[in-house]
Structure 1
Amino acid sequence: MEQSTSKEVSDCWCFHASIPKELLALIPEVDRGKACVCSRCVTNFKATLPS
């Protein structure tokens, strides 16, 4: 997870991606809406989910 910069982002790959709610729930409350989840983290997390 990376901290975002102070710049507002108008478009990002994640705006169009399916990110599991279980992964988003792992982001600390204070960082929600501020932290970025990279595509590798999403891919790795999905690989741990039961089929």
Structure 2
Amino acid sequence: MTYKNDDSICPLCEQSNRCDVKASNGCWCMNTQVPAALLAKIPTHLKGVSCVCNACIERYHEQKSLDSRVE
């Protein structure tokens, strides 16, 4: 199977990740820690290809916060 790797698309939600890693001043993603649990969900063929978007990271933290309130 052939995959099209698009580094501007989040590998989790398939929306724009707004990555600007090629810019001279870098990208927001260089200063953001992506939780290991999200990195583990990236399909193998997309690991190291594109950034997880900020929306997925925020959703993850919101869910973790909700989960901790339930416990």
1:1-51 deviation digits (Å, cap 9, x = unpaired): xx315xx72521111112101011110111011122111110001111244
Corresponding residue for 1:9? 22
Could you state the TM-score of these two structures normalised by the residue count of structure 2? 0.54
Corresponding residue for 1:20? 35
**RMSD (Å) for aligned C-alpha atoms:** 1.9
Gaps of 5+ in 1: none
1:9-48 matches, cutoff 5 A: 9=22, 11-48=26-63
CA distance in 2, matches of 1:34, 1:48: 25
Where do 4+ consecutive residues of structure 1 move more than 4 Å?
Answer: none
**Structure with the greater relative contact order (CA < 8 A, sep ≥ 6): 1 or 2?**
1
Could you state the TM-score of these two structures normalised by the residue count of structure 1? 0.71
